Structure formats: C-alpha cells, structure tokens
C-alpha cells in the first residue's frame, strides 16, 4: 500500500488532530502552510534559525547547541493511517518551531485551552533543531508487524546487543520513535518537545525523556572544545561537519547500504552513562589523566603538548606506554578500531541526588551518529567495555538505537519514503 502526500491532505491531518483530542485550534497552532515554509521573522542574529528542510535532518551536522531535550515515544495505535497522520503533524509543527514559531500573539481564545503552551514566546528560534528517529519496535514488536513495515526494517536497526558491564533500566531505553531537540536556550528545547507531544496526543505516547545541559562535543571547526563533568575537554577528535568525506564515509547512510528510504539518514545511538563521582573525585590528577589518556587542562594527548597533537600510541617511557594500554582515547581511537569513527553529539545530565546513598546522579547522555552501528558503535563499545579504564568510573544505565531518516523536502512529511512502496 502506498500513501503519498496527496493521499492524506493537510486538511485531513488537521481534522485528524482535532478528532484525536488535539482540537485546540490546530490550524492556528501550526500556522498556515505558507507560514511554515517561510523562515519566521523571529530569527534574529542573537537567536538564529536553522533550516528545517534539506537533504539531511538538522541536529546532526549542525554545530552542537548548548541544550538538549531528548524524548522517546511509543505509538499507541495499530492504524497505519493514524501513524502517518501524526508524522505529518509533527513535520508541520517541526518546520514552524525551527523557524521560531508558532507565534499566536493575541489570537488565543479565552474560552478554550491555549493551543500554544506559550513558554517559548519571545525567545526566538535559538538554533532549535529537531531530529527524529524510528526505533526497531516501530517495525516489529512482540512478533507483531502493526504497520506492515517489518520488511522495510534495515538490518542495522536492532536493539544493541548486551554489552559487558552495563546495568540498563528498561524504562529509560528504547521506544518506537525519538525526538532529539537541541537549542541554545533550554526552554526552547523543552517547548518543542512539549508541543510535539501535544500535537500527536493520543497517537504518540511519551515513554522516557532526558534533559541535557552543556554540549560535550564540537561538531564544527568553529566551536571551542567544551568540558564534560569529569573536567576533561571532550570532543577534540570528533568528526566535524566540514569534513565532507568523513561525513559521507562515517555518518550519512549511502545508496546501497540498505533500504533506500534511509539514504541520506543516519543511525543514532543514545546511552545514559552515569559518572561514579565518589571513585573519580578520589583519583589523583595523574590517575585521571592515565584513565583518559590526555592532559586534563590542555586536552593534549599524554606525551604531547597541545590539544590537537596526534595520539602517539607507540612511545614508551621507562618501559611503559605513555598512553596506557587501557586509556579511553587509545581504545576508542580509529587506529585500534579498523579505522572507524563516529560523530559524537552528547550532553551532560544531572538527575539530582540518589535516595539512600546521597550520591549525585549525573554523567554523560552519550549520543553518536553513524552510518552503521554494526561496524561503528558496537565494535568500539565492545572494545571499551572489555578493558577501558573509564569503566571503573562510569556505569551505562540506558541504551537506545534509532534510524533517523534523511531530511524533509517541502511538501513531504518526515520519513515519507518509508511508507511509499
Ligand atoms: C562517561 C562516558 C565517557 C566519557 C566521560 C568520555 C570522555 C572522552 C574524552 C575526555 C575524550 C578525549 C577527547 C576527545 O577526543 O573527544 C574521548 C574521546 C573519545 N571517546 Fe569518549 N567518553 C565516554 C564514553 C564514550 C563512549 C561510550 C564511546 C563510544 C563507544 C566513546 C568514544 C570516544 C571516541 C571515538 C573518542 C575519540 C578517540 C580518538 O580518536 O582519539 N566515548 N572521550
């Protein structure tokens, strides 16, 4: 069965929204089709807009913003048309949100619940990007192929295999769909997910979410390297958007890699990694540097003097490797991983204090984009799980993988090619 754009018109989608309890003036909420196609005047030099439409989804090659709100959703219906309708509403809303809308001004009606929750009014686009992904369970779950999609599932899209040393919480893992909202203002990111949840209310049900602050990577040459919560510069050896051939080789799914609906997309792996601060904070500076394999202050590799010096994995001093055999950067580097690289785009997180132990529950919400989890994240993480010195200081508590389809062209909806014959 083929559902083309002409099959489900925008009007039908909006009628659907109303019927699903989103009957709060979806037309005004989402703006007119013309409005969403045009960048909003809300974009200012202080709060610029990142284009929503394009050959790749934004939020992957986009220079990493400062804040994250990540949410996973499950689909509450078995009806394929309802799934498509909700994706169409998400597309319209995402285009509008990215441009700095929706803006309702004084169009709110006193007699109705406000269509626009309002918490981002006046904040501008703040470089908001919305990156959407499909989880393995959308294609098949518990032996059920609810949406006739199982034969379209890429081989790459499988729940990650169990990995040594992890202690996963199912309630923080997986999901039929995900939204990665990134912005330079945390309230803009929150608002976007809040609004998307409302727009798809009754069809997409929030499953888990994660707030992130402080990017832990640079994804563009223009960005300085930030520090993670362990105090180390993070993202030095990351793929940068300007490296066009690395983006094709390691990030964007290429023609022939699998089903054509994923060409131009990328696979997102998310892992919540708790930092065991009681152990880490009691480790000497030298010990911390040997765990990572870099100098804490400058970010230079051990044995080097400047941040961007190349890793020297062979030099020994007093019969010992200068970058220890179990140092994180050694075991994660392409030199020992068959040349493979990933694009890291994670954020720090903090979830307050753990009841009982009084320990701070904080760490890294690791996000990586790649062309092939089977060739990239999984083998790298297997190597790290086996002997990374960082394992004494961290615990992986959640795991998810999503297939992020290519970008949306005007007139299409998100992931449309997945639903075409
Ligand atoms: C809490 C967990 C983690 C922390 C604190 C952490 C921290 C760091 C730091 C400080 C660096 C050196 C600077 C840089 O090049 O970015 C680094 C490099 C790297 N990390 Fe992690 N990391 C963590 C987990 C992971 C995981 C789970 C993976 C992937 C499976 C990973 C993959 C990499 C890679 C590929 C590099 C670059 C290695 C190179 O080519 O030199 N990291 N990490």
Span 90-126, pLDDT tens digits: 999 999 999 997 655 556 788 888 888 889 988 999 9
Q: Whose CA is nearest to atom 33 of ligand 1?
A: 332
What is the DSSP code string of 25-64?
A: -HHHHH--HHHHHS--TT-BTTBPPPPS-SSS-SSSSSPP
Please determine, for residue 142, whether its predicted confidence score (pLDDT) is greater than 50.
yes
Of 180, 88, 87, 177, nearest to 141 by C-alpha is 177
Supply the pTM of this predicted model: 0.91
Among 191, 16, 23, 150, smallest CA distance to 88 is for 16
Listed in sequence order, the residues at least 6 apart from 274 whose beta carbon sits closer than 8 Å to its beta carbon are 361, 362, 363, 394, 395, 396, 397
pLDDT tens-digit series, residues 2-11:
333 333 333 3
| Mean confidence (pLDDT) of the chain | 89
Interatomic CA distance for residues 249 and 1, integer angstroms? 33
List Cα–Cα distances, 420 to 148, 158, 369, in angstroms: 12, 22, 25
Q: What pLDDT is attached to residue 211?
A: 98
Output the residue whose Cα is nearest ligand 1's atom 26: 381
pLDDT bracket for residue 415 (50, 70, 90)? very high
Question: Which of 332, 336, 398 maximizes ligand 1 atoms within 8 Å of its Cβ, making it the mutation to test the pocket?
Answer: 332
Strand partners, 241: none
Interval between CA 332 and ligand 1 midpoint (Å): 6
Confidence bin at 418 (pLDDT 50/70/90): very high
Give the residue, out of 167, 311, 344, with the most ligand 1 atoms within 8 A of its beta carbon, to mutate for a pocket test. Answer: 344
Backbone φ and ψ of 339, nearest 5°: 80, 0
Residue 421's pLDDT band, with cuts at 50, 70 and 90, is: low
**Does 44 score more than 60 pLDDT?**
yes
User: Angle between the 186-199 and 80-98 helix axes, to the nearest 10 degrees?
Assistant: 150
In the DSSP assignment, the letter for residue 407 is P
Rounded-to-integer distance, Cα 66 and Cα 182, Å: 7
The H or E element containing residue 250 is: none
Residue where the block lists tokens 């870099």: 294
Q: Answer yes or no: is pLDDT of 197 > 90.
A: yes
Q: How far is the CA of 390 from the centre of ligand 1 (A)?
A: 10
Cα distances (Å, whole numbers) of residue 247 to 76, 237, 261: 35, 14, 18
- Only one residue has tokens 């049900």, namely 205
pLDDT tens for each residue of 319-367: 999 999 999 999 999 999 999 999 999 999 999 998 888 999 999 999 9
Q: Which residues line ligand 1 (CB under 6 A)?
A: 228, 230, 232-238, 271, 273, 275, 292, 294, 311, 328-329, 332-334, 342, 363-364, 366, 377, 380-381, 384, 390, 394
């Amino acid at each position: 069965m083929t559902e083309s754009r002409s099959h489900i018109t925008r009007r039908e989608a909006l009628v659907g929204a109303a019927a699903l309890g989103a009957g709060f003036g979806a037309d005004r909420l989402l703006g007119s089709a013309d409005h969403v196609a045009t960048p909003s005047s809300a974009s200012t030099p202080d709060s610029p807009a990142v284009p929503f439409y394009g050959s790749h989804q934004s939020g992957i090659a986009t220079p990493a913003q400062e804040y994250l709100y990540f949410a996973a959703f499950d689909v509450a219906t078995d009806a394929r048309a309802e799934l498509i309708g909700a994706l169409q509403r998400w597309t319209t809303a995402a285009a509008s949100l990215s441009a700095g809308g929706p803006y309702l001004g004084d169009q709110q009606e006193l007699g109705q619940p406000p269509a626009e929750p309002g918490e981002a009014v006046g904040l501008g686009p703040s470089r908001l990007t919305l990156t959407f992904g499909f989880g393995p369970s959308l294609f098949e779950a518990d032996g059920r192929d609810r949406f006739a999609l199982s034969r379209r599932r890429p081989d790459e899209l499988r729940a990650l295999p169990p990995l040594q040393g992890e202690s996963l919480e199912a309630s923080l893992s997986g999901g039929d769909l995900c939204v990665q909202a990134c912005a330079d203002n945390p309230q803009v990111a929150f608002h976007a997910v809040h609004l998307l949840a409302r727009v798809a209310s009754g069809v997409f049900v929030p499953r888990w979410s994660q707030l992130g602050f402080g990017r832990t990577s640079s994804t563009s040459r223009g960005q300085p390297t930030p520090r993670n919560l362990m105090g180390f510069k993070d993202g030095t050896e990351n793929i940068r958007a300007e490296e066009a051939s690395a983006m094709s080789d390691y990030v964007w799914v290429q023609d022939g890699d699998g089903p054509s609906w994923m060409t131009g997309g990328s696979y997102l792996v998310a892992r919540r990694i708790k930092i065991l601060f009681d152990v880490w904070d009691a480790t000497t500076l030298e010990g911390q540097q040997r765990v990572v394999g870099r100098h804490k202050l400058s970010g230079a590799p051990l044995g080097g003097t400047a941040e961007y010096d190349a890793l020297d994995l062979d030099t020994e001093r007093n019969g010992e490797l200068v970058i220890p055999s179990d140092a994180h950067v050694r075991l994660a580097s392409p030199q020992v991983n068959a040349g493979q690289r990933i694009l890291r785009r994670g954020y720090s997180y903090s979830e307050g204090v753990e009841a009982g132990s009084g320990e701070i529950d904080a760490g890294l919400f690791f996000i990586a984009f790649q062309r092939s989890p089977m060739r990239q994240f999984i083998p790298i993480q297997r190597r790290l799980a086996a002997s990374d010195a960082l394992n004494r200081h961290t615990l992986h508590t959640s795991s998810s993988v999503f297939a992020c389809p290519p970008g949306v062209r005007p007139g299409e909806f998100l992931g449309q090619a997945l639903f075409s014959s």
